[in-house]
């Protein structure tokens, strides 16, 4: 008998920003200095707004299955 299994997993990547995207991060940090954003916050905002790409130059560095959420026999 075969089983279908639903899992929750995380994948970690090592991403290298392009020079252009790195400049956008620097500009964001400078423009928002009064808010004192962390580098991670700045990158998160710019990525969330679609202004930079995290995955153009990236490598999967780790994969971890967090939990087995559901399993059922397949017909």
State residue 9's pLDDT score: 97
pLDDT of residue 7: 97
For 12-51, how does the pLDDT look when each residue is reduced to its tens digit (9 = 90+)?
Answer: 999 999 999 999 999 999 999 999 999 999 999 999 999 9
SS (H, E, C) the chain: CCEEEEEEEEEEEEECCCHHHHHHHHHHHHHCHHHCCCHHHHHHHHHHCCCCCCCCCEEEEEEEEEEEEEEEECC
- Residue 72's pLDDT is 97
**CA distances for 70 relative to 3, 7, 10, 73, angstroms:** 10, 7, 17, 11
Instruction: Check residue 71 and give its pLDDT.
Output: 98
The Cα–Cα gap between 35 and 13 comes to 28
């Amino acid at each position: 008998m075969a089983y279908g299994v639903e899992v929750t997993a995380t994948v970690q990547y090592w991403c290298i920003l392009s020079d252009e995207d790195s400049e956008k991060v620097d500009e964001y940090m400078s423009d928002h200095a009064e808010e004192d954003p962390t580098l991670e916050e700045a990158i998160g905002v710019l990525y969330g707004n679609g202004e930079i790409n995290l995955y153009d130059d990236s490598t999967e560095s780790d994969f971890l299955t967090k939990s087995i959420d559901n399993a059922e026999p397949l017909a």
